[in-house]
Amino acid sequence: MSIAIKGCQITRDKDASGHGTIHYKKICSACGYVLPGEGQHSGPLSRGNTFRTFFKCPKCGNKQDIEILGE
Ligand SMILES: [Zn+2]
């Protein structure tokens, strides 16, 4: 299971054995804009580790951090 900490909402998680791809919507916490496309993370994300990335909001220009915690 993966937990959205910051800047995103998980729409599809890895399967029960921890394989597969995490899909997530990118959400700007400054203005609430939800990007139309989804981000994907296919690398390993083990329990207690955090996947970090960022995007620039096309609406307000905020540099939004994304954090997903492996659980
Ligand atoms: Zn924004």
pLDDT in tens, 9-63: 999 999 888 789 999 999 999 999 999 999 999 988 999 999 999 999 999 999 9
50 C-alpha to center of ligand 1: Å?
Answer: 23
pTM value is 0.92
Residue 42, beta-bridge partner list = none
20 C-alpha to center of ligand 1: Å?
Answer: 29
46 C-alpha to center of ligand 1: Å?
Answer: 30
How many angstroms separate the Cα of 68 from the Cα of each of 19, 24, 60?
A: 16, 9, 23
Domain count, the chain: 1
| pLDDT for res 17 | 81
Enclosing domain of residue 50: 2-70
40 C-alpha to center of ligand 1: Å?
Answer: 20
60 C-alpha to center of ligand 1: Å?
Answer: 4
| pLDDT for res 16 | 83
| pLDDT for res 68 | 98
| pLDDT for res 18 | 79
Residue 13 has which token pair? Answer: 């998680």
DSSP state of 46: -
Residue 35's Cβ-side half-sphere holds a number of Cα atoms within 13 Å equal to 23
